[in-house]
Amino acid sequence: MKNRHLALILLVTALGGCKQEYTPKPRGYFRIAFPEKSYALFYESGFPYRFEKADYSEIEKPDGQETDPFDITISTPRFKADIHISYKQIPGNGGNRELAKLLEDSRTLAYKHTLKADAIEEKIFMNPSSKVFGTIYRIEGNAASPLQFYLTDSVRHFLRGSFYIRETPNIDSLRPVIHFMESDIIRLIETTAWN
């Protein structure tokens, strides 16, 4: 009998105590404060290329691996974002074969993200006045690299870039950083010239 009274009291309390409807809150992400856009020319003596980079980014030389002396990383520590730039000089003899191999390697590296990508959009870039031509690969979805590109003059120079964020790929939380950094990468591409 005592147990019945106790159960009845708990039931009445539980039913009477819930007057408000509960609405679950959507998952949120931290607000990211972006700096003002400003750019400076990256021009280093002896380098075969130059371009404008964001002022809040730093130029680093990759260490550890054996790399070309003109390979660099443009790092934005605030967003854990890196743009890896690699450079190859196209040899004078047999250059067409070498250029074709570099072009195919760039395309292959971009399309390795197909497993995680929702879509890969290719956009042709041409700047005839600076003799800079290339392709930009926009990789949609939870891929490790949301943007890659290559630039060449088709004769001597070949520059390849790939954009990475050092976080687990989650497009919902990384989209604001990707959109912010994408305009910096486009600016880099548009201002690239050969020395």
How confident is the model over 37-93, as pLDDT tens digits? 999 999 999 999 999 999 999 999 877 666 688 999 999 999 999 999 999 999 876
Tell me: pLDDT of 122 over 70. yes
Q: What is the mean pLDDT of residues 20-28?
A: 71
Q: What is the mean pLDDT of residues 91-96?
A: 72
Query: How far, in Å, CA of 136 to CA of 122, rounded?
Result: 6
Residue of 88, 82, 121 whose CA lies nearest to 103: 88
Domains with residue ranges and CATH for the chain: 48-194 (3.40.1000)
Residue with tokens 């949301």: 146
pLDDT at residue 119 greater than cutoff 70: yes
Asked if 117 contacts 103 with a C-beta cutoff of 8 angstroms, the reply is no
The pTM score is 0.81
Cα distances from 181 to residues 22, 76, 94, 150, in angstroms, run 39, 9, 37, 17
Position 41 scores a pLDDT of 97
Q: Quick check: 126 pLDDT over 80?
A: yes
Q: How much is the pLDDT for 19?
A: 64
pLDDT at 82: 96
Residue 1 confidence (pLDDT): 64
pLDDT of residue 92: 75
Predicted confidence (pLDDT) at residue 6 exceeds the cutoff of 70? yes
pLDDT in tens, 132-183: 999 999 999 888 899 999 999 999 999 999 999 988 877 778 888 999 999 9
Which residue do the tokens 């995680």 mark?
116
